[in-house]
Amino acid sequence: MLVLVGPEHWDKLYPIANGNNQSPIDIKTSETKHDESLKPVSVSYNPATAKEIVNVGHSFHVNFEDSDNRSVLKGGPLCESYRLRQFHFHWGTTDDYGSEHLVDGAKYSAELHLVHWNSAKYPSFADAASQADGLAIIGVLVKVGQANPNLQKVLDALQAIKTKNKQAPFTNFDPSVLLPSSPE
């Protein structure tokens, strides 16, 4: 029996996952180009918009509620402000491969996704999610290493959601503490 696992096989299981605008990707740094015409990317997160942590079976989501753009991503190639909806992590069964994306073929232990939606153009996250310009996701590649005190509140909250569909309050959290100090 042949079992295909991992993002590199998604297109074999789901043909829609094959195309030019698909994820995951292997970022080849020798082929990247800096666009000096872009404004800097800006994130501004209000800790009061954090609401709950939910076990979704394969991962967990920390959900945010924001009706007035208190937690937003803007700048770079984005024309509008995008509201933060949730963040989640991808990880694997070993420390050497859990990220969806690669850099020059290198795999990472995990990957953080901060998922934002175009609230200027769409009335809801659900409406935005099906549109090409509806979502903007910040991906952060993670290596196992020293303990990160900024992550501890998230790790502690996992105790309350040990089974699928379990949820618990998760408030007063600024996800920008999970971002690297430099975008490089």
Sequence ranges of the domains in the chain? 51-171
Catalytic one of 58, 61, 90, 113: 58
Predicted pLDDT at 23: 76
Distance separating alpha carbons of residues 62 and 168, to the nearest angstrom: 10
- Phi, psi for residue 39 in degrees, rounded to 5: -75, 160
Find out whether 117 and 147 touch, Cβ atoms under 8 Å.
Answer: no
Q: Per-residue pLDDT tens for 130-159?
A: 999 999 999 999 999 888 898 999 999 999
Residue 59: which of 125, 111, 129, 132 has the closest Cα?
A: 111
Q: What would the pLDDT profile of 42-83 be if each residue is shown by its tens digit?
A: 999 999 999 999 999 999 999 999 999 999 999 999 999 999
Query: Mean pLDDT across the stretch 28-33?
Result: 93
* Chain centroid to CA 89: 7
Respond yes or no: is residue 90 known to be catalytic. no
Query: How does the average pLDDT of the chain come out, rounded?
Result: 89
Cα-based angle 114, 135, 177 (whole degrees, multiple of 5)? 15
Record: fold of 51-171: Carbonic Anhydrase II (3.10.200)
Residue 58: the pLDDT is 92
